Amino acid sequence: MNRESVKSRIERRRKAQQHQLLIVIAFFSLALGIWLWYHFIYTRTPEYSLKTLQNAIEQHDVDTAARCIDLDMLLSSAYDDLTDDMLHYDSALNDETREKYTAFYNQIKPELVSGMKDTILRYAATGEWILPDGTDITKGRLLGIDFERFLERSQLRSTDLAGAPAVHVTGSHTAVGTVNVQDRFTQYTFTLHFTMQQDSDGHWKITKIKNYRTYLDTISPRQNRDIADYIAATHGIVNEYNEQFAAQRARFQALTAQAKGNLTGPVAASIKALIQNEVVPTLKERQEQLDAVSIPPGAKYLANQRHMSTDLSIDAWKHYLHAIEKHSNEEFQTAETLLKQAVETDMRIKDIIRHNTVSQSLPDIS
């Protein structure tokens, strides 16, 4: 009995050890399989690329994000869709002029695509839409268009993700996907369709938004209707105060002509009184009345531009006052800079109202 009990115990122990060994082998086999699947299969799927892109954007990892999108290819296609859409909605263009503008946009395409790419990469790195500055050719209106409005018209800044993307492989190195987005102003939800391609190293990149033009054609009419309603609602306010500003501007020009560069004495006092008692209060009054008007969702950008113009103008006039009081050239220069920014903003407002695709006469950039 004892001898059999010992044998039984030994047999049970042997079987238990074998069982444990099989569990260990199975565990390491599973871990190895998962590791191999992750590093050699999953990391070479479009799903992995999309997840990596999302994480890179959240962490402001520009290099990783750039590996998940072929920005040059995507923006080249998007640029064509955007400029076609802009020209379509400029009702002031006849066939001949539209043809000239189309040729103009084709000519400046490399510069604008490059500017858009740099702006997007800065956004990926900082989380902020930082416009070109310094000597950048796309700064302001150097190319005959307003880059700020061009960026706004692309809907990039006002489009938010409204769900996780879905993707499926369609060929040996191609895939298509969808993602729901929402326009922040109109709250309209739209499904974008995108394509992906697999590089020679096995990784996938987004290469094109297939229905970007359709998205623009869907959002633009909604925004234009809201803009038209907002313009109609504020028409009386704008006209009334434009007349006051014109009169004040004429008096200011007369006083500065009388001063002949010598802003001292009674003339300087008259200029200061005009700015303090009339110009600045009138700007504030107009903005208060504009703020009291209900703003349709699609017109918020226009309303924001009007508010920006008011703020810049008030700041410019205040610095002009300081310049007179302190006889400071630096204050004069600051006032001039702010005034130029206000003028650029006013030009942008006119472009929005008139649906202009190019902000001024076509420049000679040959």
Predicted model pTM: 0.82
- Mean per-residue pLDDT for 335-355? 91
Q: Identify the burial level of 33 via C-beta atoms within 10 angstroms of its C-beta, where 0-12 means exposed, 13-18 middle and 19 or more buried.
A: exposed
* Residues 167 and 177 sit within 8 Å (Cβ to Cβ): yes
Q: Which two three-digit tokens encode residue 190?
A: 């739209």
Is the separation of the CB atoms in 290 and 306 below 8 Å?
Answer: yes
Q: Positive or negative, the Cα torsion across 215, 218, 224, 230?
A: negative
> What does the pLDDT read at residue 319?
95
End-to-end CA distance of the chain: 107
The 3-state DSSP class for residue 136 equals: coil
* Chain mean pLDDT for the chain: 86
| pLDDT, position 87 | 86
Cα four-point dihedral sign 149, 113, 193, 70 = negative
- Tell me the pairing of strands 159-161 and 174-183: antiparallel
In this structure, which long-range contacts are made by residues 252-261, counting pairs with CB atoms below 8 Å and at least 24 apart in sequence? 252/279
Strands 159-161 and 189-198: unpaired
Has residue 25 got a pLDDT over 80?
no
Lowest mean pLDDT across 18-32, 38-52, 298-312: 18-32
d(CA 204, CA 206): 7
The answer to whether the beta carbons of residues 296 and 232 sit under 8 Å apart is: no
Q: What is the reported pLDDT for 139?
A: 64
Residue written as token pair 């006083």 = 255
